Amino acid sequence: MKSMTSAAVFLIAATLMAVAGQEPETLTYDVAAVDGKLFLENGNESRRLKPGDQAISGDHLRTARSSSATLGVASHATVFRLGPKTTCALAHDRPGLLLHVERGRLRAVFGAILGAGPRLVTTPSAVLAVRGTEYGLRVKKNGVTRIVVFDGVVEVSDSAGLRPPVRVAAGQQTRVKPGKPVEPPVPHQLSPSDWDHGRTPPSPGMLGSGTRPGSPSGSSRPGSSRSSGGSKRHGG
């Protein structure tokens, strides 16, 4: 067990240091769209952002209830679509780290960049590394993180370094609890549009207990007006 833990720590450290030859750079985040309210909050400062505004590494952002916003990081070919009541820090303290999601949900789209190292997103319980892919991410108040992959592959590590990274492929989901290893990936049947509409697949532990993978909990079935209408896909 000790050797396995040591290997896990080494692999996670290798991922995080993949671009360690560079100093963390100051990134610019372009506000491409806002539906509702998006706030920039730094210390005692709080101001509302609108499309066309910019934020930089180190800023903290928050969407209001029933609001969403789309951010673009052109230098890293990345788009983040923040859902309602989402708080995040625009990362700057680690090479390759683009966003730390404290709470809420988002959809992330990473375009391919030739020769680029992993682009990282963190939560209180997980580290996600990609080179080119698309996934949905939800972080609960207690730090539990759900990852739903729509395209490509995501390497998911637990932030405590308990196990080696887990590869989660398109059509799969996983969950990470604070201080626990990444759970084994299981199928989901959601589209990016479903995710943008607030649908969430059942928890991995519920699969096999009579719940069909991808069926919503307390929401409309696939093909209903809620899921069939689709939403405009930002950055997809």
Global confidence as pTM: 0.77
Classify residue 127: in a domain, yes or no.
yes
* Owning domain of residue 183: 2-190
Going by pLDDT thresholds of 50, 70 and 90, the confidence category of residue 205 is: low
Q: What is the pLDDT of residue 207?
A: 45
Classify residue 210: in a domain, yes or no.
no
What is the SS3 assignment for the chain? CHHHHHHHHHHHHHHHCCCCCCCCCCCEEEEEEEECCEEEEECCEEEEECCCCEEECCCEEEECCCCEEEEEEHHHCEEEEECCCCEEEECCCCCCEEEEEEEEEEEEEECCCCCCCCEEEECCCEEEEECCEEEEEEECCCCCEEEEEEECEEEEEECCCCCCCEEEECCEEEEECCCCCCCCCEECCCCHHHHHCCCCCCCHHHECCCECCCCCCCCCCCCCHHHHCCCCCCCC
Whether the per-residue pLDDT at 228 is higher than 80: the answer is no
Domain tally, the chain? 1
Classify residue 63: in a domain, yes or no.
yes
Classify residue 201: in a domain, yes or no.
no
Going by pLDDT thresholds of 50, 70 and 90, the confidence category of residue 59 is: very high
pLDDT digits (tens, 9 = 90+) for 140-152: 999 999 999 999 9
Going by pLDDT thresholds of 50, 70 and 90, the confidence category of residue 131 is: confident
Q: Return the minimum-mean-pLDDT range out of 24-28, 120-124, 166-170, 203-207.
A: 203-207
Classify residue 216: in a domain, yes or no.
no
Classify residue 77: in a domain, yes or no.
yes
Classify residue 221: in a domain, yes or no.
no
Classify residue 32: in a domain, yes or no.
yes
Domain with residue 60: its CATH number is: 2.60.120.1440
